Amino acid sequence: MTDAPTTTTSDVLAGVDLTGAQVLVTGGTTGIGKETARALCAAGASVVITARSDEKGAAAVDDLRATVPDADVAFAVLELDSLASVRAFTDRFLAANDRLDLLVANAGVMAMPYGRTADGFEQHFGINHLGHFVLIGRLMPLLVASAPARVVVLSSAGHQASDIHWDDPNWERTEFSKMDAYGQSKTANVLHAVELERRYGPLGVHAYAVHPGMVRTDLGRHFTREDVEDLMARAAKSAAASGGSGSGGGGLPPTVNVDVGAATSVWAAVAATDADGGSYCADCAVAAAAPYATDPDAAQRLWTLSEQLTHETFSAP
């Protein structure tokens, strides 16, 4: 059985002073997003979290201030399944902030039943990738103006489930598989970081993709028994193909708490001094992703496809 990671957010940030840093964390009301925000607040950063409603945002801010009494934290409402919401959010954020040092693209969905976003995209691809594509693109001028700055994009080892379905990314003609759809979106997250680095790394904005591990959160709330069996079979097949023996439980890795699950996000955000921009990271270190997820030509192709789908163009510097 593979040993579970043990490094926590507190371990990563020991002795780190982020006073004066402005941070945005999407999906900061629960799970690893909330823990990422807590840890960065505790280190002195000013943090804005996004929430899907005023109620959830206010409750999360109250919790964070109870845990970190002097936390400089606020929330703003953002629905990543609506590009109109993304655009409205970025307009408000740009009007209210004169700098942005760190953007953690944490929000996401997993194993959702078939459905479409407000703009007609398949939900995993639309929320996990395209919503963040527009969000980051529209905030990039502020990140560049604040450089050195970083973007951390939450991916997953689940990217190994699927490459991009280039001819049908929104599952309009292909028989739907929720795990393949999730895998495609997580591959898109890695490719997004690769292309962000190519475009903006020379301007001082470095991007990283992160696999948080198997974390105890409500992300898998849509899982059915069949989904779990499918995931276990995929993990066992992957372990066998790589010559490994798996980690028990049909090849699934051990689960960890949120302070460990968020550690790699925080590490990539502030401590990954030896990691090249565009890297895929896991367990607070650079890790190996599937070759198709780090292919620079595929990254440029996905950028072009994303611009076409969202009708947003972000010029290369």
Residue 108 near residue 27 (C-beta atoms within 8 A): yes
Full DSSP string of 129-144 = IIIHHHHHHHHHHHHH
d(CA 173, CA 65): 48
d(CA 19, CA 308): 39
DSSP H helical ranges for 164-210? 178-200
Residue 128 near residue 189 (C-beta atoms within 8 A): yes
The answer to whether 182 is a known catalytic residue is yes
Of 141, 108, 138, 144, the closest CA to residue 123 belongs to 108
Q: Which one is catalytic: 114, 182, 200, 292? A: 182
Distances 110 to 96, 130, 166 between C-alpha atoms, Å? 32, 15, 20
d(CA 152, CA 193): 8
Q: Which residues are catalytic?
A: 182
